[in-house]
Structure 1
Amino acid sequence: MEENPLLPLPEGIQIDRIQASENEVRITAIATHPTSCCPVCRQPSCTIHSRYRRMVRDVPCGGRRVQLTLCVRKFFCRNPLCERKVFTERLPELVCPWAQVTIRYSQQLTSIGLATCGKGGTRLAARLGIQTSRQTILRRIMDLPDLPLCTVLYLGIDDFAFLRGCRFGTILVNLESRRVVDLLPNREAETSAAWMRQQPDLMVVSRDRGGEYASAAREGAPQAIQCADRFHLLKNLKEAVEGFLARHFAAHRTRVVQESRATPLPAAQGKEPPKWSPKQAAVSQTKREERLAQYEHVVALRKQGFSQTAIASQVGIGHATVSRWLAQNAFPERQPSSRKNRLDPYLKEVAQRWEAGCHNIAQLHRELVAHGAPLTYKVVYKQLVRSLPEGRKTAAAPDQLPRPPVLARQAVFLFLRRPEELSAEEEETLALLRSLHTEMDQAYELVQQFTQMLRERRGMHLDTWLAQVNQSNIPELRSFAAGVEKDKEAVRAGLTWWINNGMVEGHVTKLKLIKRSMYGRAGFPLLRQRVLHAV
């Protein structure tokens, strides 16, 4: 039978017979090469000793198992100096010696195991028509040879967690080939330094701001240039700026509260706008936006020449409302209506007692009841809270803390982002932030200088920037600058070179996915194999 193109076999093997059943395909193949080499002395021989059948499993076809029967031969070795007298012919391109599966079958099992690991690989293989066990898949993975250790010139190093906060490992990435070159079982400096000593040509080590890898690079590769990762630099700066903003926001809130407590209680009755709940305020804002949309519609129709009657009919409002709106040059805001309360007749007396120093609401309620006022404590409490300086809403002053953002972790991004990327609302918020204190404006300028230096990789300006920070009185930025001084050369290289740890972080993310697919039950050797040979 001629060779079947759907079942490629190496040269020298010919298909003799194919028998197909519902679940299995049996294929008989015959070795036809006239000679074979002795596996010991490598001398060819053409003298046949005998023949036998060898049963091996091949990759499935159409979801059915494939059983391959090989009719192979035994040869006499004619080399008198060879210790082997009879040998079996080898088929190195199809099956390994003494193996019960073909090479391509084994490769498929290994690929399934690298992608899904043990039990998951068994379930996936069953759907593809491959019957195997979890131990077989794991054994295939562990039998993979280590990758040849090539020369690494640009190395990226970072840690990953086996158990967060408890145990960590180290991942090493070749930044030129973009491949993981090794995994180490811990992040100790000596372990990493021992690996680096095997790379005498190492030129650059990209790392985070941690001291362990800095010490490892100094000991294991003193000839290499250390580069601090720019992302970690920006992250450290963000933490410093966030602490600075939190300190100023807390001081500003304290100052505003103290000033509001010093303001006397107003004696005017019913002139303050009501204090709405957030839900009531949202409903009121929605109604205002609807009225504003109607007003803009009316103005637009009037400019097109529509009469007031036609406008009223089309918009769905009264003719008098259209006339009143058109007579005004701006949108007529509704004035908040004053709400009467049972405490209103007594507000003047209460204000006098408050200014006299009686700030106990329970005491004020007892005095009012003693004078015959039919008031409950709840009514007195609610009205006083609404009228007190701490409870009423006042117009936003220029020095008031802007909202949004209110929190330091939100405002810090306004300091770090490019000015041209800010929206109009964010620019207004940033202007209010900078007006809170002179240190705010100074810190913003220093932060923008550093971020521009980082983005444009102008490491030659680092010394000038550090001098400016040390001359300032901002403790958070000075602490950040002190940390940079300890690692100045690596930071300068990170602000100058193109190298960064972004590629390493991507491999750490992939490693986490592989680790979690193993449900945390496998050890470091299996994890290392799966990461190094990841598909």
Structure 2
Amino acid sequence: MEGASLFSLPEGMQVSQIQITDNGIVVEVIATVPTSCCPLCSEPSSSIHCHYRRDLRDVPCAGRRVQLFLTVRKFSCRNPLCQQKVFAERIPTFVEPWARMTIRYGQQITSIGLATCGKGGARLAACLGIQTTRQTILRRIMDLPENLSGSILFLGIDDFSFLRGYRFGTILVNLESHRVVDLLPDRKANTSAAWMRQHPDLMAISRDCGGEYASAAREGAPQAIQCADRFHLLKNLGEALEGLLARHLAIKRKKQTQETLDEHIPIWHATRSVRRSPKMERLQQAYREERLACYEQVVALRKLGMSQDAIAERVGMSQSTVSNWLLAGTYPETTRGPYISRLDPYLPYLFQRWESGCHNMACLFRELVDLGYKGSYASVRDHILRLLPGGKKNAARGEMLASAPLSSRQAAFLFLRRPEKLSVEEQETMLMLRQFHPEVDLAYELVQQFAQMLRERAAERLDAWLAQVLSSGLPELQSFAAGVEKDKDAVRAGLTWWINNGMVEGHVTKLKLMKRQGYGRAGFPLLRKRVLHAI
């Protein structure tokens, strides 16, 4: 009896012998129930006709494979009217008739397949001590029964992609039991409507704002209330807001770019005038005074009768410089001026190409060589890094352009979030965005009103909000409001009822994992089985 408990055998079965071999564990089991019922007439019988042995695979024990030798009895049916004269005893809770494995062993294989699919399941099973193949795993998954969904009152429906952007399917979720009730091979309205007709108990359907599922619910379940999902409403509002912000951010960036370029026009012009800093002016003045003192010393020494060679050695300069200064008769002003680079005549062209979007330094260098530039690539690269907006060493000159680094999508996310959950930096960014244009500030107020309406499920404010949007003069939000107006009943229900597509989106995420575990080779029937019987 201890062996029977160890191997979790059902009542009426006894372990007679246990052997440990190189391949695993061999267990001999016998049945001890005195009677058995005929499978045809259900008449009990205690008349044993003969015995035979079944070789079964069982679940591993301590990492070792387990093989059961089950001694089965055959009974004679004592019902004279039964056509079954001899029958083998049945153990329905442990092994099926004619099976080569126990029920629990098959269930483990099926569970591994549902979690990992075919090839991956075979590899995992081998690590767990279960000997099977991917064909066996797939066959057992496909043999699973259809889920009997029963009565469904609240349904969530959404699409998922087989091939992103090209081919889609439909997932249906019972919002009360949180279980997937079916998968459909497409997202056509007639397919979904046909499925809904088979479930006349539907009371409410949560869906996105697309037209296909709205039409399907209208045709297949006219008695059900359609609820527009609040997440999809906020998502559609964010997309409309993104277009508005992209328009204003583009205008602002162009304005900032032009201001920056106007500020630095003298840098790129070939005849630019260099504006020296006060520090540079002081250095230039000190250099002139030092040079003037040297000139006065040269003149004084010449009046004393010293030769030019002696003066050059005494002052510490070349003899030719002393000769030139004495011949000039007056102090020769310095000819030192701003450095003129070989690249200066080509800077206007370089600036024009950079502004047009060509930021490849090698390409710009080749174009300048074709125009006659004789300098080096290093000179071009240094000028780009030092002078042009966007260069790595030009952070100060790019400060105006860096004042609005957000993309339109990032800005839209900030607009949709709760103000109290924004960080200090995000609040400053939000304030800067709202100061761009009165339209942006008005859009923020309208978006926050709608988001608050969704969170509080205040459907009574919907009409007033739509009127505000229509009179706002914001084309992007007006387009969104027009879509809400067409589906107002579903939107109003979505702002009232508790149901939403949150758990549907979670099941879609889980479905994506199962789909990718099939390595793109599994078909829809296998995917459907795995989703419906997901662990």
The aligned runs of 1:82-101 (5 Å cut-off) are 82-101=82-101
CA-to-aligned-CA distance 1:353-394 (integer Å, 9 cap, x gap)? xxxxxx9999xxxxxxxxxxxxx9989x979x9699xx9978
Alpha-carbon contact 2:260-2:397 (below 8 Å) kept? no
Q: 1:513 to 1:262 in 2, by over 3 A?
A: closer
- Rounded Cα–Cα distance in structure 2 between residues aligned with 1:394 and 1:164: 43
Aligned residue type for 1:98: W
Aligned residue type for 1:48: I
Is residue 43 of structure 1 aligned with residue 43 of structure 2?
yes
- Rounded Cα–Cα distance in structure 2 between residues aligned with 1:23 and 1:257: 77
Q: Which residue of 1 aligns with 2:431?
A: 431
- Rounded Cα–Cα distance in structure 1 between residues aligned with 2:37 and 2:147: 30
SS state at 1:161 partner: strand
Aligned residue type for 1:341: P
The aligned runs of 1:440-459 (5 Å cut-off) are 440-459=440-459
Offset of residue 471 of structure 1: 0.6
- Rounded Cα–Cα distance in structure 2 between residues aligned with 1:412 and 1:254: 20
Alpha-carbon contact 2:36-2:46 (below 8 Å) kept? yes
Mean alpha-carbon deviation: is it higher for 178-187 or for 424-433?
424-433
CA-to-aligned-CA distance 1:44-100 (integer Å, 9 cap, x gap)? 111221222222222222222222112221111111111111111111121111111
Q: Which residue of 2 aligns with 1:317?
A: none
CA-to-aligned-CA distance 1:196-216 (integer Å, 9 cap, x gap)? 111111111111121111111
Is residue 34 of structure 1 aligned with residue 34 of structure 2?
yes
Offset of residue 428 of structure 1: 3.0
- Rounded Cα–Cα distance in structure 2 between residues aligned with 1:176 and 1:158: 16
Mind listing any 5+ residue stretches in structure 2 that lack a counterpart?
Answer: 267-271, 281-336, 352-374
Alpha-carbon contact 2:214-2:226 (below 8 Å) kept? yes
SS state at 2:244 partner: helix
Alpha-carbon contact 1:246-1:408 (below 8 Å) kept? yes
Is residue 270 of structure 1 aligned with residue 276 of structure 2?
yes
The aligned runs of 1:385-400 (5 Å cut-off) are none
Q: 1:517 to 1:272 in 2, by over 3 A?
A: farther
Q: Which residue of 1 aligns with 2:8?
A: 8
1:341 to 338, 343, 352: 338
- Rounded Cα–Cα distance in structure 1 between residues aligned with 2:253 and 2:485: 34
Alpha-carbon contact 1:405-1:411 (below 8 Å) kept? no
Offset of residue 271 of structure 1: 4.6
Q: Which residue of 2 aligns with 1:464?
A: 464
Q: Which residue of 1 aligns with 2:79?
A: 79
Q: Which residue of 1 aligns with 2:503?
A: 503
CA-to-aligned-CA distance 1:166-206 (integer Å, 9 cap, x gap)? 22111111111111111111111111111111111111111
SS state at 1:49 partner: strand
Q: Which residue of 2 aligns with 1:18?
A: 18
- Rounded Cα–Cα distance in structure 2 between residues aligned with 1:113 and 1:503: 24
Mind listing any 5+ residue stretches in structure 1 that lack a counterpart?
Answer: 275-339, 345-349, 351-358, 363-375
Q: Which residue of 2 aligns with 1:281?
A: none
Aligned residue type for 2:15: I
Offset of residue 41 of structure 1: 0.6
Mean alpha-carbon deviation: is it higher for 409-418 or for 109-118?
409-418
SS state at 2:52 partner: strand
SS state at 2:227 partner: strand
- Rounded Cα–Cα distance in structure 1 between residues aligned with 2:228 and 2:278: 58
Q: Which residue of 2 aligns with 1:123?
A: 123
Say which one has the larger Rg.
2
Root-mean-square deviation (CA, aligned residues, Å) is 3.3
Q: Which residue of 1 aligns with 2:302?
A: none
Q: Which residue of 2 aligns with 1:312?
A: none
Alpha-carbon contact 1:402-1:429 (below 8 Å) kept? no
Q: Which residue of 1 aligns with 2:178?
A: 178
Aligned residue type for 1:437: H
Alpha-carbon contact 2:193-2:219 (below 8 Å) kept? yes
- Rounded Cα–Cα distance in structure 1 between residues aligned with 2:395 and 2:276: 13
Offset of residue 424 of structure 1: 3.2
Alpha-carbon contact 1:401-1:433 (below 8 Å) kept? no
- Rounded Cα–Cα distance in structure 2 between residues aligned with 1:433 and 1:206: 35
Offset of residue 509 of structure 1: 0.8
The number of residues matched between the two structures is 439
- Rounded Cα–Cα distance in structure 1 between residues aligned with 2:451 and 2:198: 37
CA-to-aligned-CA distance 1:301-347 (integer Å, 9 cap, x gap)? xxxxxxxxxxxxxxxxxxxxxxxxxxxxxxxxxxxxxxx83369xxx
Q: Which residue of 1 aligns with 2:245?
A: 245
- Rounded Cα–Cα distance in structure 1 between residues aligned with 2:521 and 2:108: 24
Is residue 152 of structure 1 aligned with residue 181 of structure 2?
no
The aligned runs of 1:96-115 (5 Å cut-off) are 96-115=96-115
Aligned residue type for 1:270: R
- Rounded Cα–Cα distance in structure 2 between residues aligned with 1:485 and 1:444: 21
The aligned runs of 1:196-207 (5 Å cut-off) are 196-207=196-207
Alpha-carbon contact 1:57-1:105 (below 8 Å) kept? yes
Q: 1:441 to 1:75 in 2, by over 3 A?
A: same
SS state at 1:5 partner: helix
- Rounded Cα–Cα distance in structure 1 between residues aligned with 2:256 and 2:172: 53
SS state at 2:339 partner: coil
Is residue 523 of structure 1 aligned with residue 526 of structure 2?
no
Offset of residue 463 of structure 1: 0.7
Q: Identity rate of aligned residues, in percent? A: 65
Q: Which residue of 1 aligns with 2:534?
A: 534
Mean alpha-carbon deviation: is it higher for 56-65 or for 108-117?
56-65
SS state at 1:73 partner: strand
Q: Which residue of 2 aligns with 1:307?
A: none
SS state at 2:151 partner: coil
Aligned residue type for 2:103: I
Offset of residue 403 of structure 1: 1.7
Alpha-carbon contact 2:274-2:338 (below 8 Å) kept? no
SS state at 1:521 partner: coil
Alpha-carbon contact 2:113-2:138 (below 8 Å) kept? yes
Aligned residue type for 1:520: G
SS state at 2:15 partner: strand
Q: 1:32 to 1:208 in 2, by over 3 A?
A: same
CA-to-aligned-CA distance 1:93-124 (integer Å, 9 cap, x gap)? 21111111111111111111111111111122
Q: Which residue of 1 aligns with 2:488?
A: 488
SS state at 1:436 partner: coil
Alpha-carbon contact 1:386-1:392 (below 8 Å) kept? no
Mean alpha-carbon deviation: is it higher for 511-520 or for 242-251?
242-251
Alpha-carbon contact 1:402-1:433 (below 8 Å) kept? no
